[in-house]
Amino acid sequence: MREFNYSELKAQKWDSEILGLVAAVYKEAGKQELYLKQRPGELEKLVEIAKVQSTEASNAIEGIVTTSTRIRQLVAGKTTPRNRDEQEIAGYRDVLNVIHENFDVIPITRNYVLQMHKILYSHMNNPMASKTKNVQNYISATHPDGSTEILFTPLAPFETPEALDRICDEYNRVIGNLEVEPLIAVPVFIHDFLCIHPFNDGNGRMSRLLTTLLLYRNGFYVGKYISLEAKIAKNKDLYYQALREAQIGWHEGNENVIPFIKYFLGVVLSAYRDFEDRFFIVADKVPAIEMVRRATQGIVGKFTKQDILTRCPSLSLSSVEGSLRKLTELGELNRAGSGRASYYFRVK
């Protein structure tokens, strides 16, 4: 049985990159707190957008998809699921809502992890909902020729309940005793959770929901306004690469979790910086064209009108389209492609 002792993290000598990332996240979290005190009401639209993006992206990583319109309707609770994919999407929405509304009273225990897994599958008949796996699972890759390769073998089913108890106990102990920096303990917990792979299905989505929960419980609320899941989905190759590197030697207890910690901290820091950018776009009462101009100035490379809608949540689609058209006429933007494939880029 794999042993877990998070107190050993106290003796770890972290390199300057990790220390710098931790310091930067705290700095950005402090700034976010000040921003929220200034304009709390105007940022509620960001919460709605982040919920949609998180639900869509986390499921899409696992190949669970529906249309953008259906995603928005499902997240808003304005429709019911039509098929299996939408049932799973609705379940993710429900768990995310529970976390948003009750994170401060949800303890980190096996029982509550199982309850969240039950909610994840509450819209479908899954006999393994709220139960740890009953068959051995594997983390594998499919190659272009159709062949598959086993990259990692998680814990066996009979070891899983005890291991899940153990990582919850270890996490709670070091956090409760202030032994380990939360921004280190959280990714270590998530990495161990993924290596245990406790469920027959839903492990990846549960890991991302737990990430949000653990960050909220430690005072890092950026995921409420900027979707962490969307950032992971955008560069999921980097996510899988960091995870694979950190899994080597895990069963023997001599893994190097640093690649995953750095990846995790990079995603959180990037989300905080996105929040700051969007705050300044929505905070000032300026004309739509100026709001869109500011939004485009914060983007490197090409972008779509949907990117601008995300950055300017207070604007309607017609306002964004009109502003992009005017900025193009003024020579500030160039437009390429056509129809849904059209995109823009700045020229000055």
At residue 5, the pLDDT reads 97
At residue 139, the pLDDT reads 93
At residue 269, the pLDDT reads 98
At residue 344, the pLDDT reads 95
Interacting residues of 267 by C-beta distance below 8 A, sequence separation 6+:
228, 231, 232
- 175 and 312 belong to one structural domain: no
At residue 104, the pLDDT reads 97
Q: Which amino acid is at 311?
A: R
- 326 and 228 belong to one structural domain: no
Residue 1 within a domain: no
Give the chain's residues under pLDDT 70: 42, 348
Q: Phi first, then psi: what are they for 63, rounded to 5°?
A: 80, 20
- 224 and 311 belong to one structural domain: no
Owning domain of residue 320: 286-346
Interacting residues of 119 by C-beta distance below 8 A, sequence separation 6+:
91, 94, 95, 98
> ∠ CA 313-344-331 to the nearest 5 degrees?
105
Tokens representing 222? Answer: 């950026």
Q: Provide the phi-psi class of 285: left if phi over 0, else alpha when psi is between -120 and 50, else beta.
A: beta
At residue 306, the pLDDT reads 87
pLDDT tens, residue by residue, 112-152: 999 999 999 999 999 999 999 999 999 988 878 888 889 99
Tell me, what CATH number does 50's domain have?
A: 1.10.3290.10
Q: Out of 245, 263, 281, pick the residue that ends a domain.
A: 281
Burial class for 332, CB neighbours closer than 10 Å (0-12, 13-18, 19+) = middle
Residue 69 within a domain: yes
- 215 and 292 belong to one structural domain: no
At residue 300, the pLDDT reads 86
Q: How many domains does the chain have?
A: 2
